[in-house]
Amino acid sequence: MCVTVAAAYRSAVRRRHHPPLLILAALLAVMLSVGCQVAPRAGGAATVDDGGAGAQTEVTRPDDDAAAGDHVASGDADPDGTAARPPVTLPPSCAGLPLRRLAALVLVVGMPDVTDPADPLVAELSRLGVGGVFLTGYNVTSATQVGALVRALRTGPAPAPLITTDEERGRVSSFRTLLGSSSSPRTMAATLTPAQVRADGRRLGRSLADLDVDWDFAPLADVDDGPATGVIGDRAFGSMPDVAGRYAQAFARGLRDAGILATAKHFPGHGAVPAGIDPHSRKVLSTASPQQLRTRHLSPFERLIAGDVPVVMLSHVTYGHLDRRRPASMSPAAYRLLRDMGFDGVAITDSVGMGAVHRRWKFPAAAEQAIRAGADAVLATDGTQARRMRDRLVDAVRRGRLRRRRLDEAAARVLALRDHPHPCLR
Whether 144 shows a pLDDT value over 50: the answer reads yes
Q: Which residue has the higher pLDDT, 42 or 209?
A: 209
Candidate list 350, 376, 382, 408, residue with the active-site label: 350
Q: Give the model's pLDDT for residue 287.
A: 75
Reply yes or no on whether the pLDDT at 47 is more than 50: no
pLDDT at 279: 52
- Residue 262, Cβ density class (10 Å: 0-12 exposed, 13-18 middle, ≥19 buried): buried
Q: Is 5 left (phi over 0), alpha (psi -120 to 50) or beta?
A: alpha
Question: Residue 380 phi/psi, 5° resolution?
Answer: -140, 120
Rounded Cα distance, 315 and 278, in Å: 11
Computed over every residue of the chain, the mean pLDDT equals: 83
Residue 25 has pLDDT above 70, yes or no: no
Q: How confident is the model at residue 310 (pLDDT cuts 50, 70, 90)?
A: very high
174-207 pLDDT per residue, tens: 999 999 999 999 999 999 999 999 999 999 999 9
Determine the pLDDT at residue 285.
Answer: 81
pLDDT interval class at 83 (50, 70, 90): very low
Whether the CA torsion 388, 157, 404, 322 is positive or negative: it is positive
pLDDT, greater one: 9 or 265 = 265
* Mean pLDDT of the region 299-323: 95
SS3 255: helix
* Strands in 234-309 per DSSP E: 263-267, 284-285
Among 6-20, 244-258, 382-396, name the one with the lowest average pLDDT: 6-20
Confidence class for position 274, pLDDT limits 50, 70, 90:
low
What is the mean predicted confidence (pLDDT) over 3-13? 37
Q: Angle, to 10 degrees, between the axis of helix 241-257 and the axis of helix 194-210? A: 40
- The distance of Cα 253 from the centroid of its chain, to the nearest Å, equals 18
Tell me the C-alpha distance between 220 and 389, whole Å: 27
For position 213, what pLDDT does the model report? 98
What length does the chain have? 426
pTM given for the model: 0.82
CA 238 → CA 221, 230, 246, 278, 415, distances in Å? 9, 14, 10, 20, 33
Q: Tell me whether residue 280 is one of the annotated catalytic residues.
A: yes
Q: Is 50 in contact with 355 (CB distance < 8 Å)?
A: yes
Instruction: Indicate if the alpha-carbon torsion angle 122, 207, 261, 25 is positive or negative.
Output: positive
Label residue 295 by pLDDT band (50, 70, 90). Answer: confident
Q: How far is CA 254 from CA 165, 166, 180, 182, 244, in A?
A: 16, 15, 19, 16, 15
Predicted local distance difference test score (pLDDT) of residue 371? 98
CA distance 164 to 314: 16
pLDDT tens digit sequence for 318-375: 998 889 899 999 999 999 999 999 999 999 999 999 988 998 999 999 999 999 999 9
pLDDT digits (tens, 9 = 90+) for 120-136: 999 999 999 999 999 99
- The Cα–Cα gap between 325 and 268 comes to 16
- If 0-12 CB within 10 Å is exposed, 13-18 middle and 19+ buried, where does residue 335 land? buried
Q: Is the pLDDT of residue 59 over 90?
A: no
Q: Please state whether the peptide bond connecting residue 268 to the residue before it is cis, i.e. omega within 30 degrees of 0.
A: yes
**267, 336, 344: which is closest to 31 by C-alpha?**
336
Residue 356: per-residue pLDDT:
87
CA dist 54 and 62 (Å) reads: 21
| Mutual angle of helices 386-398 and 120-128, in 10-degree steps | 20
Predicted confidence at residue 273, as pLDDT, reads 65
Residue 42: Cβ-neighbour burial (10 angstroms; 0-12, 13-18, 19+): exposed
Specify the higher pLDDT residue, 52 or 274.
274
pLDDT band at residue 277 under the 50/70/90 scheme: low
Active-site hit among 280, 308, 395, 420: 280
Q: How far, in Å, CA of 69 to CA of 365, rounded? A: 8
- For residue 414, give Cα distances in angstroms to 127, 249, 316, 329, 423: 18, 22, 21, 17, 11
Question: Considering only 278-287, 295-304, 316-325, which range has the smallest mean pLDDT?
Answer: 278-287
- pLDDT the model gives residue 275: 59
- Contact by Cβ (8 Å): 392, 366: no
By the 8 A CB rule, do 379 and 346 touch? Answer: no
Is 116 one of the catalytic residues? no
Q: How far is CA 61 from the centre of its chain?
A: 24
CA separation for the pair 251, 185 (Å, rounded): 9
**Per-residue model confidence (pLDDT) at position 276:** 57
Q: What is residue 355's predicted lDDT score, i.e. its pLDDT?
A: 86
